[in-house]
Amino acid sequence: MSLLSPFSRRLYLRIWLAVVGGVLVFAFAVGFAWRWAAEQNQNQNQHQLPTRDILITDSLGRTLVDGVAVRQRGNPREGILYRIEADNGTAYELYLSPRTHRMRPDERGPAAWFRPPLGFLWILALVGMAVTVGVFPIIRRLLQRLELLQRSVQRFGEGDLSVRAAEQGQDEVADLAHQFNAAAARIEALVQSHKSLLANASHELRSPLTRIRMGLELMQDGTPSPAFRAEIERNIAELDQLVDEILLASRLDSGAAEVGTFEPVDLVGLAVEEGVRVDAELQVGDGAAIEVPAIAKLLRRAVRNLLENARRYSHGEITLTIRREANDAVLSVCDHGPGVPLEQRERIFEPFYRLPGASERSGGVGLGLALVRSIATRHGGSVHCEDRADGKTGACFVLRLPITRQS
């Protein structure tokens, strides 16, 4: 298997092998056919013993020998020997130098078709046709997958984002099909994500705008009260947050490079600053500072979103824990809220998804956790939701980041 592995993984080697094999078969077939033709000619010459009427006279015209000459078996290249039986019973031998033997029309047989140059031409043609017909299915099968991949790419370019190429074999075509499928899946996911983002953003923007419009209509006949102004300000802040999160989510999904530069960030110091905002209890594993390579403003946004999400649903204190595990920094935000059902723990990281029963009045537009996952992915990390370790009601969101930057 190790000797054949390069041929199974390299298409050009398989095509080259098919062509070389075809040429070798062609050469051996021509050689065998030519040798067989030569043997047929030799056997034909050996089996045929042509006779000649011999008449030998002297200068005066007197008959010296009159009889029938019979060719003797032998090698034609060394000359031809005839045995002459005279009418008087005397035997003579006549030697002739080599000459080309030409059969009379009535003596032509199948072996005549194998003599040069006619024999060589038709044998060459037949063997060439046989090799061509034999090699064509091999080449056709090797290149057929390229045609299938070409059709898949064409359909994808025409707008069918769900099309995928068949992944067969382990050569360059299979690798190309795999890369195409991965790219197609990524593009389809991005397009669907952008469509979903646009649809949900339109819906979310409509709610605060409607409330602001209704409020403005109500205040036309009077002076707005402080409560009314507070409501307007809250809706405007919600709009500003929504637009900011939509723009950031779009830039992260598109892989934009202008979102910031990587630099060493003190994760403990950042957690202290953000934890004060929601009065969270901070716990550091070994008490030492932990630095991670990150885009500071994105990492701050991720920690803030986790803390604000916990404050929104928690009925007790919020715990922010930082520890180091091997080559990762692990940040956990645990609350005393209703918790997250097991079947919903992946969906809550989808854009604009809220748990059933969650009210828009509780704040948030459903993009906070989705941004946390995008930021974690941008930094080569991950985020997930799990139960509290102490068994109490609530949820823990665990953000894991590599301490050394991944290239």
Instruction: Tell me the whole-structure pTM to 2 decimals.
Output: 0.50
Q: For residue 116, is the peptide bond before it cis, meaning its omega torsion is within 30 degrees of 0?
A: no
| Residue scoring higher pLDDT (381 or 175) | 381
In this structure, the chain runs to a length of 407
Q: Looking at the domain covering 186-253, what would its CATH class be? A: mainly alpha
Q: Express each pLDDT in 281-332 by its tens digit.
A: 998 877 678 899 998 989 998 999 999 889 888 888 899 999 999 889 999 9
Whether 200 shows a pLDDT value over 70: the answer reads no
Whether the CB-CB separation of 147 and 173 falls below 8 Å is answered with: no
Amino acid in position 137: P
- 158-to-73, 155, 390 alpha-carbon distances in Å: 79, 5, 55
Whether 47 shows a pLDDT value over 60: the answer reads no
Query: Among the listed ranges 130-144, 171-185, 369-383, which one has the minimum average pLDDT value?
Result: 130-144
The answer for residues whose C-beta is within 8 angstroms of residue 183's C-beta and 6 or more apart is: none
Direct distance between the N- and C-terminal alpha carbons of the chain, in angstroms, rounded to an integer: 35
Map tokens 């779009």 to a residue: 250
Whether 396 shows a pLDDT value over 90: the answer reads yes
Whether the CB-CB separation of 368 and 309 falls below 8 Å is answered with: yes
257 burial (CB, 10 Å; 0-12 / 13-18 / 19+) is exposed
Dist. CA 238–CA 244, nearest whole Å: 10
**So where are the chain's domains?**
1-48+105-163, 56-102, 186-253, 263-402
Map tokens 């099968």 to a residue: 141
Query: Among the listed ranges 111-120, 151-160, 211-220, 337-346, which one has the minimum average pLDDT value?
Result: 111-120
Q: How would you classify the pairing of strands 63-71 and 328-334?
A: unpaired
Alpha carbon 206 to its chain centroid, in Å, reads 43
Amino acid in position 198: L
Dist. CA 307–CA 397, nearest whole Å: 10
| Residue scoring higher pLDDT (26 or 399) | 399
Average pLDDT of every residue of the chain: 76
Q: 68: part of which helix (H) or strand (E)?
A: strand 63-71
| Whole-number pLDDT of residue 153 | 87
Q: Express each pLDDT in 224-248 by its tens digit.
A: 677 777 777 777 776 777 777 777 7
Map tokens 């009379």 to a residue: 104
CA torsion angle for 234, 357, 242, 232 (degrees, to 10)?
-20
- Phi, psi at 388, each rounded to 5°: -65, 145
| Whole-number pLDDT of residue 106 | 46
Under the banding of pLDDT at 50, 70 and 90, the label for residue 361 is very low
Q: How would you classify the pairing of strands 91-96 and 281-284?
A: unpaired
Whether 17 shows a pLDDT value over 90: the answer reads no
238 burial (CB, 10 Å; 0-12 / 13-18 / 19+) is buried
Dist. CA 387–CA 339, nearest whole Å: 7
pLDDT > 70 fraction of the chain, expressed in percent and rounded: 69
DSSP type of residue 350: S
The answer for residues whose C-beta is within 8 angstroms of residue 363's C-beta and 6 or more apart is: 238, 308, 312
Q: Express each pLDDT in 64-75 by its tens digit.
A: 777 777 777 666
Whether the CB-CB separation of 335 and 397 falls below 8 Å is answered with: no
Other beta carbons less than 10 A from residue 41's beta carbon: 17
Pick the CATH number of 263-402 from 3.40.228.10, 2.60.40.650, 3.30.565.10, 2.40.50.140: 3.30.565.10
Helical H segments across 221-278, by residue range = 226-253, 267-277
**Is 333 in a helix, a strand, or coil?**
strand
| Residue scoring higher pLDDT (185 or 115) | 185
